[in-house]
Amino acid sequence: MPTWSNLNLQNSASPMMEQLTFFHDHALMILLMITVLVAYIMTSLLYNPFINRFLLQGQTIEIIWTIFPAITLFFIALPSLRLLYMLDESLDPIITVKTIGHQWYWSYEYSDLITPYEFDTYMIPSNEMNNNSFRLLDVDNRTVLPMLVQIRMLITAADVLHSWTVPALGVKADATPGRLNQTSFLMNRPGIYYGQCSEICGANHSFMPIVIESVNTKTFIKWLYNNMNS
């Protein structure tokens, strides 16, 4: 989880987020190369007393500064399209979880079970927090999911537009009333991953966090059994 002194992306907890991070670094490196090149040319023009007459009106230079940006965009577009298709690819999910956005909390439903298990998650108020909790990020009921398992999230809303987002998993999907959006992810390590509603939905938009707890399969089954029989 990033702090106020961290400007980088969060550490990835899924293969998709790893690929998004690689693409971010790839695009940033290309932008850095372009910036250095343009800065060098502008600096040389300022300190050079001579003028190249073929630079002002010349077909050759116009062809060069048309083809070179096209090639650059090609190297950015190819990995970007590959990532888009990978994000939209529908793999065979082992677990399906439905999440519904409300003003201003989230409700979850494990719908693959014979008896679906449902619960609501509310942000823990500051006066009820423990010393090891994170302000504005922790909830009373964490969403527990198994790691190394393909998980499908069905996302919708009951009232207004919301957005279900967990940056460490590379997941962001709009929660639209009357519509089911789908996203999937696979967590490759245990941990607790935080997210927030990323669509302005009203006065308490900033107070409906998301907490995903990644555990092994045995712990997940035990958690599910205890909560369904409590």
Ordered by start, the domain boundaries in the chain are 15-48+56-88, 95-229
This prediction's pTM: 0.81
d(CA 83, CA 49): 47
- State what percent of residues in the chain have pLDDT above 70: 96
In this predicted structure, what is the pLDDT of residue 54? 67
Contact, 153 vs 184, CB < 8 A? yes
Kindly report each contact of residues 86-93 with a partner whose C-beta sits within 8 Å and lies 24 or more positions away, as own/partner: 86/16, 86/19, 87/16, 87/170, 87/183, 90/182, 90/184, 91/150, 91/184, 92/150, 93/150, 93/151, 93/152, 93/184
* Residue 155 pLDDT class (50, 70, 90 cuts): very high
d(CA 223, CA 215): 10
pLDDT at 1 over 60: no
| The one-letter amino acid at 36 | V
Average pLDDT over residues 204-218: 92
pLDDT at 59 over 80: no
Contact, 171 vs 151, CB < 8 A? no
Asked if the 95-229 domain carries CATH number 3.40.47.10, the reply is no
d(CA 228, CA 110): 11
d(CA 26, CA 79): 9
- 182 vs 86 pLDDT, higher one: 182
* Residue 208 pLDDT class (50, 70, 90 cuts): very high
- 11 vs 106 pLDDT, higher one: 106
For the chain, give the mean pLDDT. 87
- pLDDT tens track for 92-120: 888 899 999 999 999 999 988 877 889 99
